[in-house]
Structure 1
């Protein structure tokens, strides 16, 4: 079955070298195509069952986390089922659908995809923790090329009872996937999410082939599999090939530059504390705060850490949604300016004397201060 996508007769510059054509609005072109409308159609979120979380299950969560640290996250290729001492499975919510990179991260972290809960909306992963339908959640927070996923920072700030308890850093492996019955010579187009296409633009420039953007590469991979599409390839994850029975025509199809995804493991407060006896590696603490005098006090705030030999590894800012406009009083007239929440990563545990002292002083000049989490740094696995 051929994948039909409406293409205008006028050729446009694609941005991928010699690729022949591109829809004037690729996403809308795909969205309006009858053949792959099912790829982009949102499926209704199943209502999670309310379950009672008992202590043995949480003990099993902690055991899995210790195993995850000791084994450097494991390969994730042959996950084994995980059940608690009570017989209840450990439930891990992840953002995205089956075949997504976030599912891959959840599999590496907990060595089991059978207990994973896909979340089509980003906020669903947070809500799964709050309504106890999941014990842990995995979210994507940053890509080494494209930067921070701001939406997830906003959700972390909004959900006050959710905290960061772990970090995973996974090299990107963009795979060129096709139907098992397809040959390389049959491939007439490549589809994927715009970000993945941009990561692979050097290789795509060498191909005289049609490039089409879609909203979700994992959904496109599933569509190819279920409809026996043999003239189209998808740039997607290796786990998508496994989930949907596709063949991998080419692994690591991305450009040869360091490309990693950073994921956060989240837990619900209050929960059993992570057992640090088996932790390896350095600690990281993430703090969010506003400043009484706005951005003008940022240097002063950061110097509190510098003066106590606390290394700052990252600084982000997000709009202060509770007070988006700050009124600055001047001698002549008052002026308004945007206000921000600053999110800072620090090397060290929140209980370290340097961080404890820095946060105590920071509280004196901040209107809002919250520790989002203190956790072991993730090594590249």
Structure 2
């Protein structure tokens, strides 16, 4: 795990909304932006596209951190900048926790999630993904980035378990980015110089046919970016790494081949995390993630999904995890006796904000048939370049 300190390009953008600095404010961003427009018609044109960009930015960063970018969006040259009532004593860089070292896909997601940052400085703070959650809860970081799923390999169950285990941590945004596995080596190294290729097991699986065609030794490593750094620092000439373009740039490696993977359609989905309720918004391109257990077990899942469907709310994803609070359910058998069944927590993504009346009503309806219900986050959906 690493903590990246992201220094915004404008000093106003460094206003902190981190845990411990002050309580996050629940606001309606759209209403606030319209209020800002009032009386500024001569200086600002607020298109629907600009409004959407501002909402997405504020959903990612929290309103205060997004101020500098909002000024860029709404202010014309020579116009007085809007007064957001910021306390200069709260101005500091955004601190983002992510797993691995600089050059990792998580590092790339962190910099993409916070595009106003001028730089990322990483500090080693542990190997386990749970460090991201504890770092947030302790107030040492303002945001965290964790991988949630891969389009070819499916969800990362361990990270979903961590979300369920840490109720203070909420999803504040998501980022879906294409995966471009590159074959990286030290400068001046050719294919004929290589003896082995190393990478994370998932990346090796994505490049299996290409690896077989090269007939080189293949070795699994826990962190491809760390392996790339070792190849660069130790000037290892017989080893190539399957990694990201950002790793090549970070460590000065040569990109021997881009798109080294076997097939396209490979995307990573990352979740942006924060502590507390944070700002809430209405608008388009929203998603809400809800976790719940069912009093009647799996047999009640259809009824639970109907709670959303009957209100015209589209369910876009359904996951399930073991219910650690009640892992086994004893069910009466028709012929007598009891049958042990595994019990689960279901996690669904639905379209719409939790401020949407239909979504709020669906969550309330779900509570009537569930052992527990918890909204894990309501946030904007964003795709990276």
Superposition TM-score tier, normalisation by shorter sequence:
0.7 to 0.9
Change in Cα spacing, 1:142 to 1:99, as seen in structure 2 (3 Å) is same
Residue segments in structure 2 that go unaligned for 5+ positions in a row: 6-17, 26-57, 73-86
TM-score of the two chains, using structure 1 as the length reference: 0.77
1:238 and 2:245 aligned: yes
Task: Output the CA distance in 1 between the equivalents of 2:147 and 2:341.
Answer: 31
Change in Cα spacing, 1:68 to 1:370, as seen in structure 2 (3 Å) is farther
Task: Output the CA distance in 1 between the equivalents of 2:248 and 2:293.
Answer: 44
Deviation at 1:65, TM superposition (A): 5.1
Deviation at 1:208, TM superposition (A): 2.8
1:127 and 2:131 aligned: no
Q: Do the aligned residues in 1 keep the contact of 2:289 with 2:375 (CA within 8 Å)? A: yes
1:318 and 2:318 aligned: no
Deviation at 1:157, TM superposition (A): 0.3
Change in Cα spacing, 1:348 to 1:319, as seen in structure 2 (3 Å) is same
Deviation at 1:106, TM superposition (A): 0.2
Q: 1:300 is matched with which residue?
A: 303
Q: 1:79 is matched with which residue?
A: none
Residue segments in structure 1 that go unaligned for 5+ positions in a row: 1-42, 72-83
Q: 3-state DSSP class of the match of 1:177?
A: strand
Match of 2:262 among 255, 259, 268: 255
Q: 2:21 is matched with which residue?
A: 54
Q: Name the Cα RMSD after superposition.
A: 2.9
Task: Output the CA distance in 1 between the equivalents of 2:109 and 2:70.
Answer: 14
1:339 and 2:343 aligned: yes
Match of 2:161 among 147, 154, 160: 154
1:208 and 2:215 aligned: yes
Task: Output the CA distance in 2 between the equivalents of 1:223 and 1:150.
Answer: 29
Deviation at 1:171, TM superposition (A): 0.3
Q: Do the aligned residues in 1 keep the contact of 2:293 with 2:373 (CA within 8 Å)? A: yes
Task: Output the CA distance in 2 between the equivalents of 1:95 and 1:229.
Answer: 25
Q: 3-state DSSP class of the match of 1:129?
A: helix
Deviation at 1:215, TM superposition (A): 2.2
1:141 and 2:145 aligned: no
Q: Do the aligned residues in 2 keep the contact of 1:91 with 1:115 (CA within 8 Å)? A: no
Q: 1:38 is matched with which residue?
A: none
Match of 1:327 among 315, 320, 330: 330
Q: Do the aligned residues in 2 keep the contact of 1:57 with 1:85 (CA within 8 Å)? A: no
Task: Output the CA distance in 1 between the equivalents of 2:165 and 2:384.
Answer: 29
Deviation at 1:206, TM superposition (A): 2.2
Deviates more, 1:134-143 or 1:299-308: 299-308
Q: 3-state DSSP class of the match of 1:206?
A: helix
1:287 and 2:256 aligned: no
Q: 1:15 is matched with which residue?
A: none
Task: Output the CA distance in 2 between the equivalents of 1:67 and 1:118.
Answer: 29
1:114 and 2:115 aligned: no
Task: Output the CA distance in 1 between the equivalents of 2:327 and 2:225.
Answer: 36
Deviates more, 1:182-191 or 1:146-155: 182-191
Task: Render the CA deviation track for 1:249-278: whole Å, top value 9, x for unaligned.
Answer: 11221123200000010010144x15x48x
Deviates more, 1:88-97 or 1:100-109: 88-97
Deviation at 1:244, TM superposition (A): 1.8
Task: Output the CA distance in 2 between the equivalents of 1:327 and 1:196.
Answer: 41
Q: 1:169 is matched with which residue?
A: 176
Match of 2:97 among 93, 96, 111: 93
Change in Cα spacing, 1:68 to 1:139, as seen in structure 2 (3 Å) is farther
Change in Cα spacing, 1:201 to 1:164, as seen in structure 2 (3 Å) is same
Task: Output the CA distance in 2 between the equivalents of 1:65 and 1:138.
Answer: 18
Q: Do the aligned residues in 2 keep the contact of 1:325 with 1:339 (CA within 8 Å)? A: yes
Q: Do the aligned residues in 1 keep the contact of 2:24 with 2:277 (CA within 8 Å)? A: no
Task: Output the CA distance in 2 between the equivalents of 1:161 and 1:323.
Answer: 21
Task: Render the CA deviation track for 1:218-254: whole Å, top value 9, x for unaligned.
Answer: 1211111121101110001122122222111112211
Task: Render the CA deviation track for 1:61-90: whole Å, top value 9, x for unaligned.
Answer: 53555788999xxxxxxxxxxxx9544211
Task: Output the CA distance in 2 between the equivalents of 1:116 and 1:65.
Answer: 22
